[in-house]
């Protein structure tokens, strides 16, 4: 352990003002340093977003239970869900590292920016965790490694794709949709047939919901992205155009689902729990519209940050609505639980500059 500081020299953060502190002493890591590092790492995971990947993956797991009940193993499913809920935070460390330049403006209080979290060691921890998850996934089902690695690749690509306007939203959306594919693939032996129109449509809807969610997050990052040269849609076309686009875009998931139903790719007769589906759908539409209104009224400033909680709830509610198609009771439980715990976890992050 004494050689680790030599192998991992302190990182000069991209814009070059804040250097990461040494968290290891000359002999061995102290308990207090380990605790501080762990606290900073967990804080950087931004756990209120865990429901984005968690519920997206739960859609895949629960659908596998629906189509192949004979192969269900609840301990196995619980392990998969734990991986999915933690996956946002583990990958968030990578995003924070790649986005240090703009975060010095947008979120100067984040642990990796302030130096509270050592960037290189945080990356090593995330890499080790992802390696362990990859090995575990291989033993669950070798095919599950494919969406896992695809999701990680798309997550890294997303940080660079911010320069490509809406292409970044598409890439991010499909990176989260890989959680749905992973949840389904890791739950047991793959069914035959594997690909059907309604399953493909569900993956596309998950991607659309998450692409829309991340679109609204660009408002809070407007100034930093502009100074860092990140040409997001909000930066490229300005706040006024982006505000009105956000209002129109709030209807996209609903209109896309109706289009899929109309052409028979995801017919309404496949909705087995129509009352629960309609209820969850109405809640989703309301939250999506309210998200658009909040960012229209407050495109920049502190209120923009606090509007994120509604944005996250809207995205998760849309994914829960897809679960309501085949498991209405589970959907209602998840709608209530996610709404409460997203708010609870978000309240732990009251600093709008972190």
Q: What is the pTM of this model?
A: 0.88
pLDDT band of residue 226 (cuts 50, 70, 90) is confident
Cβ neighbors of 125 (< 8 A, separation 6 or more) are 41, 93
Q: Using the predicted structure, report yes or no on whether residue 1 has a pLDDT greater than 50.
A: no
**Residue 192 Cα distances to 44, 67, 196, 289, 299, angstroms:** 40, 10, 10, 39, 47
Whether the pLDDT of residue 142 is over 80: the answer is yes
Cα-based angle 191, 192, 193 (whole degrees, multiple of 5): 120
Is the pLDDT at 115 greater than 80? The verdict is yes
Please give the pLDDT value at position 293: 97
> How confident is the model over 66-84, as a mean pLDDT?
93
What's the pLDDT tens digit per position in 290-323? 999 999 999 998 899 999 999 999 999 999 999 9
What percent of the chain is modeled with pLDDT above 90? 74
Cα 57 from Cα 301, distance rounded (Å):
33
- Side-chain-side CA neighbours of residue 147 (13 Å): 24
Count the alpha carbons within 13 Å of 167 in the hemisphere toward its beta carbon.
12
Distance CA 88, CA 48 (A): 10
Q: What is the pLDDT of residue 216?
A: 96
Q: Does the pLDDT of residue 10 top 80, yes or no? A: no
In this prediction, residue 29 has a pLDDT band, given cuts at 50, 70 and 90, of low
């Amino acid at each position: 352990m004494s050689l680790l500081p030599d192998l991992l020299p302190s990182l000069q953060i991209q814009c070059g003002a804040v250097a990461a502190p040494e968290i290891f002493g000359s002999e061995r890591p102290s308990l207090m340093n380990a605790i501080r590092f762990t606290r900073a790492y967990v804080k950087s995971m931004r756990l209120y977003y865990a429901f984005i990947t968690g519920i997206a993956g739960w859609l895949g797991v629960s659908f596998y239970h629906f189509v192949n009940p004979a192969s269900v193993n609840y301990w196995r499913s619980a392990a998969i869900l734990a991986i999915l809920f933690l996956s946002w935070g583990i990958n968030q460390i990578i995003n924070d590292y790649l986005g240090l330049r703009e975060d010095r403006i947008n979120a100067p209080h984040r642990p990796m920016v302030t130096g509270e979290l050592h960037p290189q060691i945080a990356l090593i921890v995330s890499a080790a965790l992802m390696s362990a998850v990859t090995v575990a996934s291989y033993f669950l089902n070798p095919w599950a490694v494919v969406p896992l690695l695809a999701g990680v690749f798309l997550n890294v690509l997303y940080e660079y794709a911010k320069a490509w306007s809406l292409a970044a939203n598409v890439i991010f959306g499909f990176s989260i949709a890989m959680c749905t594919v992973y949840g389904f693939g890791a739950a047991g032996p793959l069914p035959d047939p594997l690909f059907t129109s309604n399953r493909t449509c569900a993956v596309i809807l998950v991607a659309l919901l998450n692409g829309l969610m991340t679109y609204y997050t660009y408002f809070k990052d407007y100034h930093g992205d502009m100074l860092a040269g990140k040409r997001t849609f909000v930066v490229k076309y300005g706040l006024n155009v982006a505000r009105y686009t956000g209002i129109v875009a709030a209807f996209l998931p609903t209109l896309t689902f109706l289009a899929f139903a109309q052409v028979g790719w995801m017919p309404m007769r496949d909705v087995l729990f129509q009352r629960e589906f309609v209820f969850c759908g109405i809640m989703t539409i309301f939250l999506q519209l309210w998200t658009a209104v909040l960012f229209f009224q407050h495109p920049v400033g502190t209120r923009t940050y606090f509007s994120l909680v509604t944005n996250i709830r809207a995205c998760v509610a849309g994914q829960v609505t897809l679960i309501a198609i085949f498991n209405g009771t589970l959907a209602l439980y998840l709608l209530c639980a996610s709404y409460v715990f997203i708010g609870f976890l978000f309240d732990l992050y009251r600093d709008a500059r972190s």
